[in-house]
Structure formats: C-alpha cells, structure tokens
Structure 1
C-alpha cells in the first residue's frame, strides 16, 4: 500500500522535482524548499515564475519576477546565472551539455557551460522554450507557431506555423515530434522527420473542455499524457505519423473532478494523475488499472515528479499541501 509523507508549505507549489534523490518544492513566493535530512528553505526570487530541472538531474534552474535566473543544486548550493533585471523571466529550459535558456519578452538567451551567451529575438513574446533531445537546438513557442533554431552557427530559424497562441512546447524523447499546448483548449503538433523542403505535417489534438497545462511523455516516448479533462488524455505516438487519425486513451476518468497534472513513470508505462480536488491516482496505460496514491486534499494538484528509480512521487498543490508518496509502501 502506498505511504504518503506530507509537508505543508502554505503557498502555491508551482513545481516539484527530485535533484538526485532530494525532493524540492518551488513555491510562487520565490522560495524553494529542499527535503534533505530536514527541511531547508532557499529564498531564490521575489516571485517565482518558471523552473526546469537540469539534464544531469542534479540542479533546478529558476526564473522570477525579479528578472533573475538562478540555479539550486541537490547539495543546497545556489548560483546566480543572471542578476536582477527589469523584465520578468517567465520561462526557462535546461538542455544538453549544461545549456540553460530563458526568455523575457521577445528575447531568448542561451547560456552555455563555457560562459558563452547566445541571444535570439522573436517578433512576438516567447511563451515556451524546449531543447531538442539531440544537438543544441532550441524551440521557441510564440503567437502563431514555433521557431526552431540551432544554438551554434548562423542558419536561419525554421518556422512551424499554426494560427493561435502557443504557450508551452515539448519535443518527443526521440526528437521526431514537436508539440505545443495552446491558449485554446487544444494541443498542436508537427512531424520533424520529414524530408527537407517537404510540406509540414500537422497534428491537431482537440476536444479538451479546459486548457492543457500539464504534459508528460512516457519513458520511451510512445505516449503523451495531458491534463485539461475529467480524465488524463493520453495520445499514442509510436506510429510513424504519431496520433494522426487515432483516438487518445482516457485514463483515470472521474465524474466530479478535472485532471490538473500528469507525470509519466520513468521506466514503466504508467502515469500519475493529479486532480482538482487533490487526489492522485497511478494508472497503468496498458490496461487502465488504477491505484490510489493520495486521497483528496486542500487544493488542486499543480506539480508532480518521480525520482529516477520510479519508487517515489513528489507532489505539490495550489494550497501548499505537498508530500512524497512511496509507491512500494
């Protein structure tokens, strides 16, 4: 039977991650709480807006209303990647080779591990950033689509156009697909493995009753789980054309609560589903078998993350009632 170790943080939890084996909870106030043989509080920002875990799994990159970009490591050490600035940093991303990207307004900056900085300008505000799984390529989501650019070299950015506001962007783990969540209740995707110069292949994933705020790829990239409905909407991506012409799975269906957060297990085809009433379920993708991980709480689940072995699940809520579930009990 799963056991829950609760922690009450009295603030909206925007993100949770495991840095190594250390769970951290990033709060809207700008504080990050680290559970490592006791509770450690790190005052990183005057108002936190965005977080991303580094690719090595040992650091958390954060951006805030104070314009700062910070890094917190598993051992509690802090570093300032950019000092206070006038514009809010509302989106950050971590990439291969220690690269970090952040956006403020229409500009995105990439900080490389050797101290080099690269800047990219868009015509509209950048709402989402993601690094490709291979090679230093950065996707920038904005109004009417996504720009995809190589960090090194001077090749022009590739534009993936689709009308509307795109506010989150993610690559499939194998790099074959690019998917955004939109201001309307929909996801949009593009195939990236077409021949150069060929017409772009689009994927429209619609029918959500609410905005999609949470996305998570299964470990091998066969499935993309999403929030925004009374069940987790899980799209199939194993076929050559991804979900085109295929219906999604609907997992963890409940009549009285919306799914607010999803997190796929790091090794199994299993998804943790957080709801608007604070409940958390684990559901196996193959047969929809459900296990209750946490009963309803004080507020909607807003953040979840598995540790690398997949035995522990950290969760956070809008009301600050957070915790760590040990699924093996």
Structure 2
C-alpha cells in the first residue's frame, strides 16, 4: 500500500547503533540504541541537537514534557541530559533500570533495581521508594504527578510524594511487564508474563483479569481520552473499550497486520488513530476504535519499512510519526489532519 501522497517522508537519518526506544516531546525526538548511544534530533528537520552515552547499554529513553531534558535507562544505570547546556549526568549504579517516567519538566522517576528513585533534572535524588519484592519493571505517574505507580512482581504499589512506603497496594501474583494508567486516573492496567492483562479500578480497588492471550503482554497504551486501551500479546493488536463501566463482559476490537507486534502508539487527540509496528518491518495506521466489539479491522494504510523489524515508534505531535528500525534507520512521516489518516 503506497504512502507517497498521504504519508510523505519528512526526514531519514541513520544511527550507528540498533535502536531500542524512541521518545518525542515538543520540537525534539530522542532515540536510544542497544549499546547505549542516545541521540536527540530536531523533530521538524532531523538535524542532530545533541547526544550522550549510557555505559552498559540502553533500554528506555524519555523526553521531559517541556523538551528540556532526556532520561535514558539501561541494565547498569541511568543518565540525564540537559538541553540548555548539554550537561550529561551518568549514574552507573549497577542496578537494572528498565523504566523511567517524567512527572513534569523538573522531576523524573527511574527504576533502579527493586526501588524507584525520583530525581531532579541534574540527577539529584529527591526521594526513593522502599524495596519491592523484585526488580521494578515499569513506572507511571498519576494525579498530575502527585502519585507514582510502581510495578514489580506481586503488586503495583502507589506512592505519594516523598513517601517511601506505598499508600495503596494493588496485589497480583505474577510478573508485570508493562504498566498503563488511564489519563483520568480511573484505571491501572498491567501486561503480564502469564499472557494476561490485569485491571484495577482505582476508586474501589475492584479487579478484572483478561486472560487467554497466546503470548506475554509486553505493550499497553491508553489513548488521550482514557477510553481505549491497546495491547499486544498476539498477532492481533487488541483494543479494549474502557468507557462506561469498563471492559468487563465485552470483547475487544482486533487489528491484524503483523505476525509479531513490536511497537504501539496512539496519535495525540481523541480521533482513535493508532500506529503499530511489527517484526516484518511494516508500520500500520488504524482507525482503531471503529466498528463494534469483536470486529476485525484492517489498516487504513501501511508504511513500508527498511526490511528490518520495527524497533519503536512515537508521535511527534499529531501530524508527524517517527519510526525506528533495528538496522539504525530513523524516519518521520507526515500525516493528514486529526480526523483523517
């Protein structure tokens, strides 16, 4: 399916590392490579703005909401880069750091072994959580940065500012691989090693498990409305409806394009547009909330890749989609208005 007219190539660069993660905020796009090289590009032009190295390799990268700082996490620690002066702070803690999440332009939470650390933009520690039962696998802020959700084996624990012990604990016997919190704060969801999605309603702690996935669920993402949750765990991307009373007793929409899903990202806004990437190297664009429950949807269009698997993708605003392939190519494609794909 051709994208020459409706999804034009805006820029195309190559990095000398295998990309593992992308992040976009404001006018910047950041890419992290498996060997620890992190590069920051101008989102509109593709010009390199800065770069730094994280010894031991990288797993995640995240731009702050104001595009003023970048955090990268990896198997042996984490690093922070500051746009204003290019200063880089590296902490080789020796602890597995699989996740990071910005509360705002001044505070970021990073996983560090069995704890979560909350840092300022210079890398100074503001506070830390008590040790969980096992390694922290994911993090998410709630209540506009006033509460931090921390996922580790056996539970998701929620901490208020400067509280080492959790104020609320949501137990689940299993290994959490991904965490998604609805923008409304109404729902907390975990994708799990046991091929399930577990859901907590934060108002009363009631629970729901959606099981039966053929593979472990590694990727979860809420759209901006908080009404739709996309997940991997199968050749189909599943999209669950969280409006009203939530997904209990309902069936998801199924999006079939890739043999193995490797990336998911909702387009900013409320149009229900989703981008997905696969190990076949293709990127699919979807009206992911169209049809009815149990509907099997087809892509609105596909973007041809480089031949390598898709490593990551992210939206740099509503009109620009950034994609990283594992062969080191980073490309951005323009998209039409929010009401069209």
- The offset of 1:202, in angstroms, is 1.0
Look up the match of 2:268: 266
Q: Give me the CA root mean square deviation.
A: 2.5
- The offset of 1:2, in angstroms, is 1.0
Q: Which among 309, 318, 322 is matched to residue 314 of structure 1?
A: 322
- The offset of 1:265, in angstroms, is 0.7
Q: In the alignment, is residue 286 of structure 1 matched against residue 290 of structure 2?
A: yes
Q: 1:117-132 to 2 correspondence within 5 Å?
A: 117-121=126-130, 122-132=132-142
- The offset of 1:239, in angstroms, is 1.7
Tell which deviates more after alignment, 267-276 or 93-102.
93-102
- The offset of 1:30, in angstroms, is 1.2
Q: Which among 26, 30, 38 is matched to residue 32 of structure 2?
A: 26
Q: Which among 179, 185, 200 is matched to residue 175 of structure 1?
A: 185
Aligned length: 318
- The offset of 1:9, in angstroms, is 2.7
Structure 1 moving runs of 4+ over 6 Å: none
User: Structure 2 CA distance, aligned partners of 1:193 and 1:41?
Assistant: 43
Q: Could you give the per-residue CA deviations for residues 283-304 of structure 1, whole angstroms, max 9, x where no partner exists?
A: 1122446332411432222211
User: For the structure 1 residues 234 and 72, does the alpha-carbon distance in structure 2 shift closer, same or farther, using more than 3 Å as the test?
Assistant: farther
Q: Could you give the per-residue CA deviations for residues 9-64 of structure 1, whole angstroms, max 9, x where no partner exists?
A: 35321111223222222111111223335335613212112223323344321123
Q: 1:1-329 to 2 correspondence within 5 Å?
A: 1-4=6-9, 5-36=11-42, 38-39=47-48, 42-46=51-55, 47-73=57-83, 77-80=86-89, 83-96=91-104, 98-112=106-120, 117-121=126-130, 122-152=132-162, 156-194=166-204, 200-240=205-245, 242-251=246-255, 253-254=256-257, 257-267=259-269, 268-284=271-287, 285-287=289-291, 288=297, 290-308=299-317, 310-328=318-336
Contact persistence 1:213–1:260 (CA under 8 A): no
User: Structure 2 CA distance, aligned partners of 1:16 and 1:221?
Assistant: 22
User: Structure 1 CA distance, aligned partners of 2:52 and 2:166?
Assistant: 39
User: Structure 2 CA distance, aligned partners of 1:105 and 1:84?
Assistant: 12
Q: Could you give the per-residue CA deviations for residues 80-106 of structure 1, whole angstroms, max 9, x where no partner exists?
A: 2x5332324222221146221112211
- The offset of 1:137, in angstroms, is 0.9
User: Structure 2 CA distance, aligned partners of 1:48 and 1:76?
Assistant: 22
Q: Could you give the per-residue CA deviations for residues 216-275 of structure 1, whole angstroms, max 9, x where no partner exists?
A: 2112111011123222211111122x2111111112x13x62222111110121101112
**TM (normalized to structure 1)?**
0.87
- The offset of 1:314, in angstroms, is 0.3
Look up the match of 2:294: none
User: For the structure 1 residues 263 and 70, does the alpha-carbon distance in structure 2 shift closer, same or farther, using more than 3 Å as the test?
Assistant: same
- The offset of 1:133, in angstroms, is 3.6
Give unpaired runs (5+ residues) of structure 1. 195-199
User: Structure 1 CA distance, aligned partners of 2:93 and 2:153?
Assistant: 24
Tell which deviates more after alignment, 294-303 or 51-60.
51-60
User: Structure 2 CA distance, aligned partners of 1:162 and 1:246?
Assistant: 22
Look up the match of 1:197: none
**TM (normalized to structure 2)?**
0.84
- The offset of 1:117, in angstroms, is 1.6
User: Structure 1 CA distance, aligned partners of 2:284 and 2:150?
Assistant: 32
User: Structure 2 CA distance, aligned partners of 1:76 and 1:315?
Assistant: 27
